[in-house]
Amino acid sequence: MKTTVDQENISKEKALKSMKRNALALLGVAVLLFIIAIYFKIPMLQAFSEAAMVGGIADWFAVVALFRHPLGIPIWHTAIIPTKKNEIGENLGNFVSEEFLNREKLEIKLEEFNFATKASDWLSQEEHANKIADLVVVNVIPGILKTIKDEDVKRFIQVQFAAKLESINFGNWVALALEPLQKGNVKDQLLTNLLEVMSSELSNNKDLIQKKVKESTPFLSFGLADKSISEGVFNGLQDFLDEAKNPESDIRIKIDEYVYNFLDKVKNSEEMRVKINTMIMDFAGKKEVQEYVNGIWDEIKLSITNDLEKGDESSIKKNLSSLIQSFGNGLKEDQVMIDKINNFIKNDLLSVLLNNKKVIGDLISSTVKSWDGKEVSEKLELEIGKDLQYIRINGTLVGGLIGIIIYSVEWMYHHFLV
């Protein structure tokens, strides 16, 4: 499949060949006129055609000599571009570094250009924002997903997850969360609510208690004691809970003391905090938790891939495009940020370029030197060869006109002055 660049090169090659044929055809016309002039003895036409042939052939030689040896003959000072490639590269590098990377010239141009304003206008347009977003979702994100290794990402997540857990003192968190229970009526109300729920659940599961009691009694009792035992267990538990709901009861006082002591240990005992941290770390180290953590990346990657496959309907693309537009619109309205960006480019970035202008010049020079001479010549001819054919055409026509002028001067000299 031909790329856009390949198609452009094919188009340029066709145009170059067409112009070469035109220049050659005009030279052929000059040759034909020369034959006619000789045959019919037409002096002025002979002078025109002779000069046209000389001009056309001379300019053909000059144009061809830039890119290759004319007719393959290694004539001195021909094939200038491929043979002088290194000197051209060095001169080009020096020219760019000295003439283009000039502080005074660049500062004037940067102030006229107002990069930040133009960039904000460009980014705020939906078409341009979509192009950038499309570039990111088509090339950048898939490229990143293909480049990174899943094992490395999972290992990174595991390490970060473990490091984060180790840095957290869960004992302090638990103590902080439970601290309100030691103040006011919060603890009493919470206990009362909890005992109410337990009492309600006990009533709702009376049949289950009877079933469990029956399963636990000896087979030889023939179920005679089941009902009595289950009723005793149920009533005993219910009485315990009812008494515990009374804030003044002995049971409730003991429960309050236990809760208070536990909260105090959590708050003030380092040993209790270590136990809480250890318990959570042990839980985090279980196989199921580790597999869940490992699966986080798989889920993220799958979600991203599935979304990108939606094309223009991709949420990532839409959000990215919207973000770019919002950034552009916000930047347009923020004159302070615009001034900062322009000043950064004018001062900081410009200083970096100027301080490294020799490096930039050397880079251009070394890059050109690394190119193949023949390839460079062919590429340049493809780019400017079409326009250079006009030199051949003009040389043929101008040469013919000069030939007529010379003939006319000579004719007037012989007829009026001699």
pLDDT higher than 50, residue 220: no
**What distance in Å separates the CA atoms of residue 391 and residue 327, rounded to the nearest whole number?**
51
Question: Which residues make Cβ contacts (< 8 Å) with residue 240, sequence separation at least 6?
Answer: 251
Give the pLDDT confidence score for residue 351 in this predicted structure: 84
Question: Which residues make Cβ contacts (< 8 Å) with residue 100, sequence separation at least 6?
Answer: 106
**Which one, of 346, 376, 378, 351, lies nearest residue 92 by Cα?**
376
**What distance in Å separates the CA atoms of residue 326 and residue 321, rounded to the nearest whole number?**
9
Write the pLDDT tens digit of every residue in 107-140: 787 777 788 888 899 999 999 999 999 888 888 8
Element (H, E) at 387: helix 373-412
Contact, 119 vs 351, CB < 8 A? no
Give the pLDDT confidence score for residue 110 in this predicted structure: 75
Confidence of residue 5 (pLDDT cuts 50, 70, 90): low
Write the pLDDT tens digit of every residue in 313-353: 889 999 999 999 999 999 888 889 988 888 888 788 778 87
**Which one, of 372, 314, 381, lies nearest residue 130 by Cα?**
314
List Cα–Cα distances, 359 to 91, 257, 351, in angstroms. 14, 79, 13
List Cα–Cα distances, 181 to 77, 93, 319, 369, in angstroms. 98, 77, 45, 80
Contact, 67 vs 379, CB < 8 A? no
Tokens of 262: 């536990």
Write the pLDDT tens digit of every residue in 35-58: 999 999 999 999 999 999 999 999
If you average pLDDT over residues 356-365, what whole number do you get? Answer: 86
Confidence of residue 242 (pLDDT cuts 50, 70, 90): confident
Question: Which residues make Cβ contacts (< 8 Å) with residue 144, sequence separation at least 6?
Answer: none
Hunting for tokens 């919470």 — which residue is that? 190
DSSP annotation of 347: I
Backbone angles phi, psi at 206, to 5 degrees: -60, -45
Give the pLDDT confidence score for residue 222 in this predicted structure: 46
